[in-house]
Structure 1
Amino acid sequence: MEPVNHETRARYDDLPYSSYAYQYSAPEQLAAVASLFGLPSAGIATARVLELGCGAGGNLVPVALRHPACKAVGVDISRIQIDEGKGVIDRLGIGNISLVEADLLELDAESLGEFDYIIAHGVYSWVPRQVQEAMLALIHRCLAPDGVAYISYNTYPGWKTKEIVRDAMLMHGGARPTATEQVAYGRSMLGFLKQTALAGGLTAAAVDECMAQVMNGPIDYVAHEYLAPYNQPCYFHEFVRRVEKHGLAYLGEAQPSMMMPSNYNPELSRQLYGALGGDQVRVEQYLDFAVSRVFRQTLLVHAERAAGLRWELDRGALHGMHFASRLATVGGPIVLDGQPQEFVAPPNTANISVALSGIKQAIDLLAKTWPGTVTRDEMIRYAYQTQGGNDAVSAEVLGGAIDELCEKLVLRGMAQVRLAAVAVVPASGDRPVVDPVVRKQLASLAPHRKHVANAWHDSVEVMDIDRLLFPLMDGTVDRAELIAATVDALRDGRLSPPVDGNNDLGTHASAAVADMLQRMEQSAVLSRSPVQ
């Protein structure tokens, strides 16, 4: 009899999944969220990190690079992906990470040891139920007493609609011999339904919801999300009950803003908390019904650590954190007049209204520093010194108001937080420096891979010009030299020539370098690091 996971292994060997960083699975994020809710965890610099379903290591290798004294272990069932990841590690020459080919049903937890952070992104919903149970049992055995685990999974009720599309695509293409053919046939089925489904019906609504994702998404994503042998969404409350059977407990979401009904509708929040009180799991399950949630990124701890957890931000923890936010005013520059102004933090659609000039200046510091971080104390000092005279207040008053600001930004998803500074810069300067960790990733990247992880563990797509110039951007080369290198590459064919008919390579190269630097400024890959 074939092993339970044989079909899963064969599918990922046939069509490996894209392997890159997932921002909210970063150990730094897990530690920050745990601290926000009053549960300190292990320091990242020397932590032990385990990833289940690591693929080719695209999510784990950047962690090992950022923290040379940590120990990272990745496990995956696909030999092809593990071999690719081992090749990356060999090219990097780092010794603090290892990748293991293994079936979770057969994996010996004792041989793995204990870990401060365990990550399982894109695994739980896509394996048989007995593998899900084995995963939870392994996490309980391998998670350190103060550890934090991350599991992502598809959820109902949102996936109820998507299952109509999945079932139709499987009906038409599921029997095809390869995943690539299944995607082609599945897309054909979706096109058919787009033309023929009854207007206003549930099928038409499901097709409209999934159309862009299925038709325009990468083949590997469509194959593994919509056409995989297993895709088993569950309700959030069901997931929580399952983990409790394994001695684990719900800590929160990797994106805390997703937990807050007030971010969706103030009236919804009032009614849910009025009816359900402090039952956070029920509140969030009702919220999932209200917003038709399709996906969660849930953090877990050992059950005994969760006793008494209140799911309220610990303001004391905020005092020691580092914040980043891309805040901007709506409708003009900051005015220090004590009158309300609206601020937004794209791409987040939430906003906040601020009147106090000192708080406006704290926001100004955040905006000037983004994508780098500032601390609460730095905001207080800057605000106190620059608030002007119209509505000036004491540093003590500013401190309380900035505490409130930071709490709002975090709860509304308008700020990113860390327990340590993120040293990236908002402007490139004349001799731009790309984060050495990013340069190392790029140097080891296989030609078919297109992503690196920035200092926030967010995935950044790299272009051909990035592959050309990043190795030079260590602080020793100025913009003129970058332009000259680009001209040379255009001449000898390493970069594609202009398509606009303009044969002035210098002009084209100058524009290309300017565009690249602007992208990098927005992508948090420019560093204050010294020349290396």
Structure 2
Amino acid sequence: MSNVYDEQDYPYAVRHWTHPTQLGALAQLMGRAAAPFQSCNVLEIGAGDGVNLASMAIGAPRAQFVGVDLSERAVAAGRELIAAAGVANLRLECADLRDFDAPAGSFDYIVAHGVYAWAPKDVQDALLALCGRLLSPRGVAMISYNALPGCRLRQGVRDLLLAAVAGVEEPERKIAAARAAAGFYAEQWSASDNAFRKALEMETRDWLGRPDGLIFHDELGAIYDPQLFSDVVRKARAQGLDYLCDNDPSLVEHALWESELWSKSLPLTGGDQIAYEQTLDFVETRFFRRSLFCRAGAPLERRFSPERLSGLCLEAPLEPFEDASVGEGEFAFKTAGRGEVSTRDPAFAAAMRRLGEAYPRALAIDEIAAKAPARAALLRLYAGNMARLATEPFPVGRDAGETPFANPLARAQARLGLGSVTSYRHSQVSLEGDDTRHFLALLDGTRTIDALVDAMSGSASGTGDTRAKVEAALATFALWGLTRSPAA
């Protein structure tokens, strides 16, 4: 089997928002109990080289993972990687999703990122039917797609780029021609005061920053079919699926709390959540959706309930902010994005302080916030994209231990010379230099820090201050989640 994905590599990557611990947490917030991560079955459609699934599988050796993709080249590369990493609970199949089958209700989580809006109508229908047939009674399916109305603007950019590459078949020449055209048009629009042209310029410059593989397959692909959210929900319902929520923190906030826009839009929506979120997409000119679905039947409870946070955990890189501008009785914290969050609630402040001290390890919400106001405030951190919510913590911490053990997938990637490796936090980490990759590959749990110093002293990194460098690297790796915490 050969197809366009064998002609030009797609930039497959780990995506934290596809992880079952996050999908399960969102299901619980909406009143649905999801399958526990450690014993679940996961299917990814369009899995590529399987790196996203492999990262999950490392953290749940008793769970089972299956990836399906059309690209023989990507599947072959993925099988090589998972063999090198010793991942035994992941199977990659090269197949068309229309031909894939499994026992009914056999998957607790189904992930389909970057497939639906780039596939023919019959494949779109087959994907939803597959989810309706294979999702378990407590399962969650995540389907991402380009959304309307925002993608009307992207369609305009796509039109001019397709005109520029007409007749060009070879991938590298097509990408080069598209980039040249995009640069030309962006420059022409830059001097204009016209609002539409300025919007096109911003979209085109954003487009220019994307990887070649993404441009070739997503933006220049044969099929580009942005969707109305309400249409996707309607088609999912026909397959026995209910919409849970979107896997976007800002949209989760709109599902949990009534906003001013909710009240103002009642004449248009009649209080229906689907109609409201479609109206919200029109208001915000949304470009993209990551919609979550479950089996139809049981009622959904979307509005916030403090009790539904029990059993969940939160991870947040917060640091107390000491400044003369902080008023008396006020507590302020810096966030990872250099933002600031402040409060006069001592209970919320205490919870944020504990989160910051524990980072990168997540803490159980039950342990840091007992009362409803503090719980609601912590969930607002997630809604503001300042924290990650999950059903269980990742096995990370600030201490790499006496015999450091790095993520086996990351070590395999380092041995293969890859510049980006995978952390226990289900995220990508960029590594620079052969010495750094060599050092990471050494962290297999058999070497003490002294042994690591000896091993690195004989490399190009030198000998004088090797111990300090080793200890600093271990501290950084632990913070990034590359090493497993001895306390986990």
- Check whether TM > 0.5: yes
Partner of 2:355: 366
Match of 2:432 in 1: 463
Q: Does 1:328 align with 2:319?
A: yes
How do 1:13-412 and structure 2 match up within 5 A? 13-107=6-100, 109-110=101-102, 114-197=106-189, 199-201=192-194, 204-261=197-254, 267-268=260-261, 270-272=263-265, 276=269, 278-305=271-298, 308-332=299-323, 339-347=329-337, 352-379=341-368, 399-412=371-384
For 1:408 and 1:352, locate their aligned partners in 2 and report how far apart those are by CA, in whole Å: 11
SS of equivalent residue, structure 1 residue 470: helix
Contact 1:150–1:300, Cα closer than 8 Å, also in 2 = yes
1:472 matched to 2:442 = yes
SS in 1 for 2:162: helix
CA distance in 2, matches of 1:511, 1:223: 45
Asked whether the 8 Å contact 2:104–2:135 carries over to 1, the reply is no
* 1:523 and 2:480 correspond: yes
**Partner of residue 423 from structure 1, selected from 395, 399, 402:** 395
Q: Distance in 2 between matches of 1:483 and 1:274?
A: 69
- Code of the residue aligned with 1:226 in structure 2: it is E
The alignment partner of 2:459 has SS state of helix
Q: Is the Cα contact below 8 Å between 1:118 and 1:149 reproduced in 2?
A: yes
User: Given that residues 175 and 216 in structure 2 are in contact (C-alpha distance below 8 angstroms), is that contact kept between their aligned partners in structure 1?
Assistant: yes
Q: Could you say what secondary structure the match of 2:389 adopts?
A: strand
Q: Percent identity?
A: 27
What one-letter code is carried by the residue in structure 2 that aligns with 1:433? P
Deviation at 1:467, TM superposition (A): 1.6
Q: After the TM superposition, which residues 465-504 of structure 1 pair with which residues of structure 2 at under 5 Å, given as runs? A: 465-474=435-444, 482=452, 485-486=455-456, 488-490=458-460
Alpha-carbon displacement from aligned partner over 1:337-392 (angstroms, at most 9, x marks no partner): 9723344533285x543213343222111110011011234325xxxxxxxxxxxx
* Deviates further, 310-319 or 481-490: 481-490
Q: Is the 8 A contact 2:119 2:223 kept in 1?
A: yes
- TM-score (norm. length: structure 1): 0.82
2: CA distance, partners of 1:281 / 1:344:
35
- 1:495 corresponds to: none
TM superposition shift of 1:324: 1.2
- Structure-2 separation of matches of 1:530 and 1:475: 14
Decide whether the 8 Å contact of 2:348 with 2:378 is kept in 1: no
Shift of the 174–63 alpha-carbon distance from structure 1 to 2, 3 Å rule, reads farther
Aligned partners of 2:59, 2:30: CA distance in 1, in Å? 25
Q: Structure 2 unaligned runs (5+)?
A: none
Query: Per-residue CA shift, 1:278-326, capped at 9, x if unaligned?
Result: 3222222222222221111111011213xx3231233222122121112
Task: After TM superposition, give the deviation of residue 137 of structure 1 in Å.
Answer: 0.8
Aligned residues: 486
1:103-155 superposed Cα distances (whole Å, 9 cap, x missing partner): 12333x24687111111111111111111111111111111111110111111
The one-letter amino acid of 2:437's match is R
Give the equivalent residue in structure 2 for 1:413: 385
| TM-score of the superposed pair, with normalisation by structure 2 | 0.88
**Cα drift, residue 233 of structure 1:** 0.9
CA contact (8 A) 1:33 1:256 kept: no
Query: Quick one: distance in 1 between partners of 2:255 and 2:293?
Result: 23
Map Cα deviations across residues 207-248 of structure 1 (whole Å, 9 max, x no partner).
Answer: 422344333322112212211111211121121112112221
**1:433 and 2:424 are equivalent in the alignment:** no
Mark the CA change 1:294 to 1:515 in structure 2 (over 3 Å): closer, same or farther.
farther
